Amino acid sequence: MKKNNYEKFKLVKVDSKYCDYLRKFDYRVPYNAGRKDLRPFIGVLFMVKNCEYFAPLASPKPKHKNLKNSLDLLKIDKGENGIINFNNMIPVTNKNYQEFDLDKKANNKEEKFRLILLQKQLRWLTQHRKEVLDKSLLLYNLYKNDKLPKNVRERCCNYPLLEQKCQEYNK
């Protein structure tokens, strides 16, 4: 596995049909249809077998402030701006996502709030890039080497299986 050479993270929307396909093989793949089709993923965390790894972001909730950072979770700005769920990282290729346009004009108040939140998340994640990348790779490697505590492993997507399914889907 090689580390990526990307200078910046991407905020993307992953195709809901692709997520639905992966979920046939692993129920932990994030639901990404309906209102959730706006769920942002942060990437590129790292690359394996020509797949880019992305992790879903969660919008801020009051409970995030009380959570602790862990092997598979990182609070964004102490939870004020949501969290990253590394346990739900998925492999993708550039055929499976489109980047968010953070410079687009918002059509309503809700969309404006969402764009501002995404900009804050991306700014914080960029400032903490090394921590984000190190955490994602650590979790991935511990999973692959069967070194995770059982409770954490049970929360994680099956990364090797999803890599295989990503390759099959994108043929």
Q: What is the pLDDT of residues 100-126, one digit of tens each?
A: 888 888 888 988 888 899 899 999 999
Tokens representing residue 100 in the block = 């968010």
Identify the CA nearest to 37 among candidates 16, 11, 60, 10.
Answer: 16
HSE (side-chain half, CA atoms, 13 Å) at 92: 28
Residue/partner pairs of 155-160 with CB below 8 Å, 24 or more apart: 155/28, 155/72, 155/87, 156/28, 156/72, 156/87, 156/88, 157/26, 157/28, 157/29, 157/87, 157/88, 157/89, 157/90, 158/25, 158/26, 158/28, 159/48, 159/53, 159/89, 159/91
Give me the CATH topology for the region 10-169. Answer: Thiol Ester Dehydrase; Chain A (3.10.129)
Residue with tokens 């059509």: 107
**What ranges do the domains of the chain cover?**
10-169
Amino acid identity at 70: S
pTM of the model: 0.87
- Please write the tens of the pLDDT for every residue from 35-84: 544 567 777 678 777 788 999 888 899 998 889 999 999 999 999 999 99
What is the share, in percent, of the chain residues with pLDDT greater than 70? 90
Q: How many residues does the chain have?
A: 171
Contacts of 29 (CB under 8 A, 6+ apart): 19, 22, 23, 88, 90, 157, 162
Give the per-residue pLDDT at 1.
42
